[in-house]
Structures are given as structure tokens and as C-alpha cells.
Homo-oligomer: A and B are copies of this chain.
Amino acid sequence: MSVTAPQGFVASGVAAGIKASGALDLALVAAEPAGAVAGSATFTTNLAAAAPVQISRTHLAATRGHVAAVLLNSGCANAATGAQGLEAARKSAATVAAALGVGVDEVLVCSTGLIGPHLPLGQLVAAVPELVDRLGASRSDAARAAEAILTTDTHAKEVVVERDGFVVGGMVKGAGMIAPNMATMLAVLTTDASVGPPVLGDALRRAVAASFNELTVDGCTSTNDTVSVLASGLGRAVDADELADALLEACADLAFQLAEDAEGTTRVARVVVTGAASGEDARRAARAVAQSNLVKTSLYGADPYWGRVLSELGASGAAFDLASVSVRYGETLVFAEGCEVGHDRAATSGYLSGSVVEVRCDLGLGQGEATVLTTDLGPGYIDENMRTS
């Protein structure tokens, strides 16, 4: 069900021929009945933002937060494509808007794939009638939409969060170029909560900050990242806290799915920092450990070499006192009071061989806490990324 689980939404996915493989590559999520509902989105902070990001920003500003549909394609990022790319993004939105009978500004557009190639607009436009015709609220309709946005992902990623009186649904694609501010990823969230655009936008930003923006795979912030949310208002009225909480649950679930399915990943690690001098210091320290190639390579080898964790904490810029730091792999204390703590190395390595592991660092200085999700770094990442064509 995912994006069609909340009342008031339909979805579809088709093969438009943007991917040479003939796989599904064009998805639509729309309000049903057709018409603008409250919408919001957060976009990449990359200044080389792709054409669809630029167009979607303009559309959201023009409607002041009312969105009828989100069109997403895989197989081409439509990034670094100049004026022609902007025109292609605009025309694809206009084609969908005409087919749905809504304003062009009420359609957001998202693209993912290689940077550089031009969007095959003719093929995309030709596929819109089938895309609109297939719109439906069934589980398989949502699943086809989730399938059509994948790139190097190995499977579709969906979520449904049910709360008293309202539901949140969502789908995401990721795989590589994943970093805070944000992952290379496209996500669409839907809810039937009754809420206006300002509250919706606020709740989205809070949920994204504590989920997708606390995930790092390779520290690369892409040109196309977009998380959008649509609220049909068919459920009960909610306040920002309540909505943010439900959106966070959905986003955190999707972020974990992204980590698990990241390019070449064999395990997911939660880097938990406690006892930092501030929350900001905790995030800085956790990100430093989570982004370290040496830590990530150790994780691939299930090697309990805590020295690299300690070194990254010390180099992170967070307030740091070696004598007050402790490091644990799961429950096993491996460093405290300035020195290594004796532990059963084989057992610790066994723990680190799991599919989900925790690296827990207490800085012993204050109350700041943060958790960052990361992945290991093994040959699979290199195999997937060394050649794009």
C-alpha cells in the first residue's frame, strides 16, 4: 500500500523507455479526487541542483504549499543539463497536469539516475496517458510506483505508519551518494491527516533532520535529493508534534531500508555518541566516525579496531578528552580511562559480523547525544561505482 495507504491517494508506475533495460522507470503519486492538497518538500542543499529540483522549488513557492501530484523518473537525473533540462522538467510537469486537470504548478517533479544525459522527453510524454490511466489505490499500484523509482537499489522500499485517526505512507529510493543534507534519494510521503502547508512543512523538516539527514553511506550529497509529502486532509486534524512523530517513524524506517540496501553494503552500523558537550558536538562526532573510510573498512572486515573510532572522535572537532572517553561495540567495552579494555576479541569480531551492529561512544563530558546510521565499505561499493557505463 505504502503511498496509497492513507485515504485520498492513488499511484502508478510504467516503463517509459527512459531505462534502456525496459524496466519500470516512471512513477506518479496523485491526490484522488484530482486537486491540490497540502504539500511540502525538502530538497538537496547541493548548489548544482538538478532541473527537477529547481522546477519543483518554483512550483511549491507559486502554490504556497498545495500539490496535486508528484511525478518521478529513474534512469536519468536531468542534472547539469542547462536550459534544455529545465524546459524538459517543466514540460513533463505540464503534461501530467493537463492529464490530471490540475495546474502545472501543482505538480512536483523528481529525477534520479546519471548526471549529464538529457531527459528523453518524447518518451516520457508519450507514457503519461498510460501512467494516468493506471492510477489506483491498490497495493500493487503503490508497489509499481515504488519499483519505478529504483536505480541501483536491489528492491523497492515502502512503509506504512498507522496512528489513531490518520495514516502515513511512504516510498524511497537510494543506493549510493548518500549523505547528510541529504541522501541521493527520492522519497514521497503521503498522509490523510488534516493539516495545512505550514504545519506539514515544519513536521517534514523535523522528521527528515532526524532520519535521512542522520544517514551517511559515502558522504556525497547529490544533485537531485527530494523528500516530498502530501496531506489529503481526509483524516482527523493533527498538530505538528503528532504529525512530525508519525513522519519520523516513517522516515526512520525508510532510512534504515536505504542503509540496508546501499551499494555494496554487507552490514549497517549505528554510531551512537553520548556524553558530548552539546547535541551539535554529538552529531559532529558521530558523523566523523560514521563517514570514516577506515572505520567503515574495519566494519566490513568485522575487525574490532577501536583505535580508528577513537582517532575520528579526536579529529571530529567536538570537545574531547581522551581520559574520559569510552568505546563499546554493542555491549562490549573495548576502551576506557585512556587505554584498551581487555575483551574477547573473537567474540567482539563475531558481534561485528552481524547484519546490524552498534558502535557506542561516550565522550564523558556532558549530555549531548546523537545517532548516525552508516554502512560498511567493501569491494561491492567499488564494483558498483568504478564504471558508470
Contact = CB atoms under 8 A, between A and B. Distances in A.
Q: Interface size class for chain A?
A: 35 or more
B298 A177 contact: no
Interface string A290-327: 01111001101101011110111111000011110000
A315 B386 contact: no
Interface string A140-181: 000000000000000000000000000000000000110001
A308 B45 CA distance: 15
A311 B49 CA distance: 8
Contacts of A185: none
A176 B338 CA distance: 24
A307 B338 contact: no
Interface string A252-264: 0000000000000
Contacts of A33: none
A237 interface: no
B222 A82 contact: no
A388 B303 contact: yes
Contacts of A221: 311, 315
Contacts of A121: none
Contact of A305 (B47, B82, B388): B388
A126 interface: no
Nearest to A349: B387
B83 A311 contact: no
A246 to B, nearest CB: 30
Nearest to A325: B48
A331 interface: no
Contact of A322 (B47, B116, B310, B339): B47
Contact of A338 (B81, B222, B300, B339): B81
Given A310-B48, A338-B81, A220 B315 contact: yes
Given A297-B385, A335-B80, A339-B82, A115 B311 contact: yes
Interface string A71-93: 00000010111111000000000
Contacts of A382: 297, 300, 377-379, 382
Contact of A220 (B47, B82, B292, B300): B292
A227 to B, nearest CB: 17
Contacts of A308: 115, 220
Interface in A334-361: 335, 337-340
Across chains A and B, which 7 residue pairs bring their CB atoms closest together, nearest first? A115-B307, A48-B314, A301-B386, A82-B338, A47-B320, A297-B385, A221-B315
30 contacts: A46-B311, A46-B314, A46-B315, A47-B321, A48-B320, A49-B314, A79-B307, A80-B310, A80-B340, A115-B307, A115-B310, A115-B311, A116-B335, A116-B340, A177-B311, A218-B294, A219-B291, A219-B292, A220-B293, A223-B307, A223-B310, A223-B314, A293-B377, A298-B386, A300-B382, A301-B385, A301-B387, A303-B387, A378-B386, A382-B382
Interface of A: 44-49, 77, 79-84, 114-117, 176-177, 181, 218-223, 291-294, 297-298, 300-301, 303, 305-308, 310-315, 320-323, 335, 337-340, 377-379, 381-382, 385-389
